[in-house]
Amino acid sequence: MVKYIGFRLFQALLGLWFIATLVFILSRSIGDPAEVFTARNSGVDAREIMAAKLGLDRPLHEQYLKFIGQLVRLDLGESVSNGIPVTQILVERMPATFTLGLIALLFALVFSLPLGVLGAVYRDTPVDWLAKVMAFLGQSMPPFWLGIMLIILFAVVWGLLPPAGKGEWHSYVLPGFTLGWGVMAGMVRLVRSSMLDVLDSDYVAMARAKGLPEVVVIGKHALRNALLPVLTYSSLVLGAFMNGSVVVEQVFAWPGIGTSAVQSVVRRDFPVIQGVVIVFGSFFILINLLVDIMYAVIDPRIKYTQ
Amino acid sequence: MLRESKEDDILLRVEGLKTYFFQRTAVLKAVDGVSFSVAQGEAVGLVGESGSGKTMTCLSLMRLVPQPGARIVEGEIWFKGDNLLEMTEQEMRAYRGHRMAIVMQDPQTSLNPVYTVGEQVAEPVRLHLKERGQQAMARVLDSLRAVRIPRPELRLGQYPHQFSGGMRQRVVAAMGLTTQPELLIADEPTTSLDVTIQAQFLRLIRELQQDSGTSVIWVTHDLGIVAQMCDRVNVMYAGRIVESGRVRQIYKEPQHPYTRALLDSVPLMGARREKLYQIEGQPPDLRSIPEGCPFWPRCPEAMDKCKEQYPPRTSLGSEDFVHCWLTEEGR
**Residue among A127, A208, A210, A301 with most chain B CBs within 10 A, to mutate:** A210
**Are the beta carbons of A55 and A77 closer than 8 angstroms?**
no
Contact B113 A203 (CB under 8 A): yes
Collect all residues of chain A within an 8 Å Cβ-Cβ radius of residue B96. 208-211
Rounded Cα distance between B152 and B171, Å, is: 10
In order of B96, B98, B119, B174, the CA distances from B122 in angstroms are 15, 12, 5, 10
Rounded Cα distance between B211 and A304, Å, is: 38
Q: How far is A70 from chain B (nearest CA, A)?
A: 45
**Residue among B93, B114, B171 with most chain A CBs within 10 A, to mutate:** B114
Could you give the angle at which helices A270-298 and A257-266 cross, rounded to 10 degrees? 150
Collect all residues of chain B within an 8 Å Cβ-Cβ radius of residue A207. 112, 123
Give chain B's contact residues with A (Cβ, < 8 Å). Answer: 62, 64, 68, 93-98, 101-102, 104, 106, 109-116, 123-124, 127-128, 159, 161-162, 172, 175
Sheet holding B314-315, edge to edge: B100-103, B183-187, B215-220, B43-47, B232-237, B240-246, B321-322, B314-315
Q: How far is A196 from chain B (nearest CA, A)?
A: 12
Closest-approach residue (CA) in chain A for B123: A210
Beta pairing, strands B232-237 & B43-47:
parallel
Contact B102 A300 (CB under 8 A): no
- Report the pLDDT value the prediction gives residue A42, as an integer from 0 to 100: 67
Collect all residues of chain B within an 8 Å Cβ-Cβ radius of residue A211. 93-98, 124, 127-128
Contact A300 B161 (CB under 8 A): yes
Other CB atoms within a 10 A radius of the CB of residue B31 amount to 31
Rounded Cα distance between A12 and B42, Å, is: 61
**Residue among A125, A201, A206, A214 with most chain B CBs within 10 A, to mutate:** A206
Give chain A's contact residues with B (Cβ, < 8 Å). Answer: 123-124, 201-203, 205-213, 221, 224-225, 298-301, 304
- Report the pLDDT value the prediction gives residue B171, as an integer from 0 to 100: 92
**Residue among A202, A218, A224 with most chain B CBs within 10 A, to mutate:** A202
Rounded Cα distance between A281 and A287, Å, is: 10
- Report the pLDDT value the prediction gives residue B2, as an integer from 0 to 100: 45
- Report the pLDDT value the prediction gives residue B127, as an integer from 0 to 100: 92
For chain B, the straight-line distance linking the first and the last C-alpha, in angstroms and rounded, comes to 31
Collect all residues of chain B within an 8 Å Cβ-Cβ radius of residue A302. none
Closest-approach residue (CA) in chain B for A224: B114
Contact B96 A201 (CB under 8 A): no
pTM: 0.78
Q: What is the mean pLDDT of residues B229-247?
A: 92
**Residue among B23, B123, B182 with most chain A CBs within 10 A, to mutate:** B123
Q: Pseudo-torsion of CA A169, A173, A176, A181, nearest 10°? A: 160
Closest-approach residue (CA) in chain A for B107: A202
Contact B68 A124 (CB under 8 A): yes
pLDDT in tens, chain A (306 residues): 778 888 888 988 899 899 888 888 877 776 666 666 666 666 677 777 777 777 777 788 888 888 888 888 888 888 877 888 888 888 888 888 888 888 998 999 998 999 999 999 888 889 889 888 888 888 888 888 988 998 899 888 888 888 877 777 878 888 888 888 888 888 998 999 999 999 989 999 999 999 999 999 999 999 989 988 888 888 778 777 776 778 888 888 888 888 888 888 777 777 888 888 888 888 888 888 888 888 777 777 776 554
Q: ipTM, 2 decimals? A: 0.86
Could you give the angle at which helices A257-266 and A86-121 cross, rounded to 10 degrees? 130
The SS3 of residue B298 is helix
| Backbone phi and psi for residue A223, each to the nearest 5 degrees, phi listed first | -60, -45
Per-residue pLDDT at B12 exceeds 90:
yes
Contact B110 A208 (CB under 8 A): no
Per-residue pLDDT at B3 exceeds 50:
no
- Give the DSSP letter string of chain A: -HHHHHHHHHHHHHHHHHHHHHHHHHHHHSS-HHHHHS-TT--HHHHHHHHHHHTTTS-HHHHHHHHHHHHHTT---B-TTT--BHHHHHHHHHHHHHHHHHHHHHHHHHHHHHHHHHHHHTTTSHHHHHHHHHHHHHHHS-HHHHHHHHIIIIIIIS--S-SSSS-SGGGTHHHHHHHHHHHHHHHHHHHHHHHHHHHTSHHHHHHHHTT--HHHIIIIIIHHHHHHHHHHHHHHHHHHHHHHHHHHHHHTT--SHHHHHHHHHHTT-HHHHHHHHHHHHHHHHHHHHHHHHHHHHH-HHHHHH-
Q: What is the mean pLDDT of residues B225-246?
A: 91
Collect all residues of chain A within an 8 Å Cβ-Cβ radius of residue B101. 209-210
- Report the pLDDT value the prediction gives residue B270, as an integer from 0 to 100: 61
Compute the residue count for chain A.
306
Collect all residues of chain B within an 8 Å Cβ-Cβ radius of residue A201. 109
Amino acid identity at B95: Y
Q: How many CA atoms lie within 13 A of B148 on its CB side?
A: 10
Closest-approach residue (CA) in chain B for A299: B114
The SS3 of residue B287 is coil
> What are the sequence ranges of the domains in chain B?
107-180
Collect all residues of chain B within an 8 Å Cβ-Cβ radius of residue A304. 161-162
Q: Which domains does chain A have, with CATH numbers?
A: 2-72 (no CATH), 89-305 (1.10.3720.10)
- Report the pLDDT value the prediction gives residue B18, as an integer from 0 to 100: 93
